[in-house]
Amino acid sequence: MSKMKFKTEVNQLLDLLIHSLYSHPEIFLRELISNSSDALDKIKYLTLTDASFKDYKLDPRVDIELDEKDHKTMIIRDSGIGMNKEDLVDSLGTIARSGTKNFLSQLSGDAKKDSSLIGQFGVGFYSIFMVADKVDVISRKAGEDTAWKWTSDGKQGFSIDEAERETAGTTVILHLNEQGREMDSKWEIENIVKKYSNHIAFPIYLHYEKTEWEGEGDDRKDKKVPTIEQVNSASALWRRSKKEISDEEYTEFYKSSFGSYDEPMLRIHTKAEGTLEYSTLFFIPEKAPMDLYQADYKSGVKLYVKRVFITDDDKELIPSYLRFVRGIIDSEDLPLNISRELLQKNKVLASIKKASTKKILGELKTLSEDKEKYTAFIEQYNRPLKEGVYSDYENKTELLELVRFKSTKEEGWVSLKEYRDRMGADQKAIYYIAGDKESILRSSPLLQDYKKKDIEVLILDDEIDEIVMPMVGPYEEMPLKAVNKSGASDDLKSDEDKKKEEDLKPLAEKIKSALGDAVKEVKISTRLHDVSSCIVADENDPSAQIQQMMKAMGQGDMPAPKPILEVNPDHDVVKKLAETSDKDLESDISWILLDQALLIEGAEIEDRKAFAERMNRLISKGL
Displacement of CA 529 from its chain's centroid (Å): 43
Q: What is the nearest approach in angstroms of ligand ADP to the Cβ of residue 82?
A: 6
Q: Give the nearest distance from C-beta 149 to ligand ADP in angstroms.
A: 14
Upper half-sphere CA count for residue 40 (Cβ side, 13 Å): 22
Give me the least distance between CB of 136 and ligand ADP, in Å please. 13
Buried b (16+ CB within 10 A) or exposed e, 439-466: eebeebbbbbbbeeeebbbbbbbbbbbb
Amino acid at position 295, single letter: A
Q: Is 312 in the site for ligand ADP (CB under 6 A)?
A: no
Helix (H, G, I), strand (E, B) or coil at 108: coil
Bridge partners, 311 (sequence order): 303
Instruction: Indicate which single residue of 58, 84, 104, 122 sits in contact with ligand ADP (rule: CB under 6 A).
Output: 122
Q: Does 81 bind ligand ADP (CB under 6 A)?
A: yes
> Which parts of 143-162 interact with ligand ADP (CB under 6 A)?
none
- Shorter beta-carbon distance to ligand ADP: residue 96 or 430: 96
Is 449 among the residues that bind ligand ADP (CB under 6 A)?
no
Q: Can you tell me which of 14, 18, 21, 31 binds ligand ADP, judged by CB under 6 A?
A: 31
Candidate segments 35-43, 182-190, 351-359, 606-614, binder of ligand ADP by CB under 6 A: 35-43
What lies within 8 Å, CB to CB, of 594 at 6+ separation is 515, 518, 519, 533, 535, 565
- Of the pair 123, 468, the CB lying nearest ligand ADP is at 123
8 A C-beta contact, residue 372 and residue 331: no
The answer to whether residue 36 forms part of the interface with ligand ADP (CB under 6 A) is yes
Q: Which of 278, 258, 281, 270 is nearest to 349 (CA)?
A: 278
* CA separation for the pair 386, 460 (Å, rounded): 12
Candidates 91, 116, 177, 587; binder of ligand ADP (CB under 6 A) is: 91
CA atoms 42, 44, 49, 53: torsion sign: positive
Question: Per rule CB under 6 A, is residue 89 in the interface with ligand ADP?
Answer: no
In the complex, the smallest distance separating the C-beta of residue 123 from ligand ADP, rounded to whole angstroms, is: 6
Taking the complex as a whole, the smallest distance from the CB of residue 65 to ligand ADP amounts, in Å, to 15
Closer CB to ligand ADP, residue 74 or residue 564?
74
> Rounded to the nearest whole angstrom, what is the least distance from the CB of residue 147 to ligand ADP in the complex?
13
Residue in 9, 30, 214 with CA at minimum distance from that of residue 124: 30
CB of 338 to ligand ADP, least distance (A): 22
Using the 8-state DSSP alphabet, how is residue 393 labeled? Answer: G
CA distance 386 to 376: 16
CA–CA separation, 340 and 323 (whole Å): 19
- Provide the minimum distance between the beta carbon of 121 and ligand ADP in the complex, in angstroms, as a whole number: 8
445 part of the interface to ligand ADP, by CB under 6 A: no
C-beta closer to ligand ADP: residue 31 or 465? 31
Alpha carbons within 13 angstroms on the beta-carbon side of residue 386 total 21
Query: Is residue 124 a contact point for ligand ADP (CB under 6 A)?
Result: yes
- Nearer to ligand ADP among residue 144 and residue 606 (C-beta): 144
Closest CB 375 distance from ligand ADP, rounded Å: 34
CB of 40 to ligand ADP, least distance (A): 8
Q: From CA 420, how far away is CA 604, in angstroms rounded?
A: 36
Q: How far is the CB of 298 from ligand ADP (least distance, A)?
A: 10
Q: Please give the span between the terminal C-alpha atoms of the chain, in angstroms, as a whole number.
A: 90
* Residues near ligand ADP (CB under 6 A), total: 17
Rounded Cα distance between 5 and 109, Å, is 28
Could you tell me which stretch among 31-39, 227-235, 382-390, 518-526 binds ligand ADP (CB under 6 A)?
A: 31-39
62 binds ligand ADP (CB under 6 A): no
Q: Is 80 in the site for ligand ADP (CB under 6 A)?
A: yes
Cα–Cα distance for residue pair 385/400, rounded to 1 Å: 9
Q: What gap in Å lies between CA 470 and CA 481, rounded to an integer?
A: 9
Task: Decide: is 170 part of the binding site for ligand ADP (CB under 6 A).
Answer: yes
Which CB atom, from 153 or from 503, has the smaller least distance to ligand ADP? 153
For 222, half-sphere exposure in the C-beta direction (CA atoms, 13 angstrom radius) is: 4
Question: In this structure, are residues 591 and 614 in contact, taking their beta carbons and an 8 Å threshold?
Answer: yes
Residue 89 or 577: the one with the smaller Cβ distance to ligand ADP is 89
Q: Which stretch binds ligand ADP (CB under 6 A): 87-95, 201-209, 346-354, 372-380?
A: 87-95
466 and 546 in contact (C-beta within 8 Å)?
Answer: yes
Single-letter code of the amino acid located at 62: V
Question: Judged by CB under 6 A, which of 28, 103, 125, 129 binds ligand ADP?
Answer: 125
Which residue from 64, 83, 135, 511 is in contact with ligand ADP, where contact means CB under 6 A?
83
- Strand boundaries in 6-104, DSSP class E: 62-65, 73-78
Q: Name, in order, each residue with C-beta under 8 angstroms of 27's C-beta and a sequence gap of 6 or more.
A: 115, 118, 119, 127, 196
User: Which span (33-41, 366-374, 418-426, 596-604) binds ligand ADP, by CB under 6 A?
Assistant: 33-41
Rounded Cα gap, residues 232 and 206, in angstroms = 10
273 vs 296, beta carbon nearer ligand ADP: 296
The answer to whether 136 contacts ligand ADP (rule: CB under 6 A) is no
Site of interaction with ligand ADP (CB under 6 A): 31, 35-36, 39, 78, 80-83, 91-92, 95, 122-125, 170
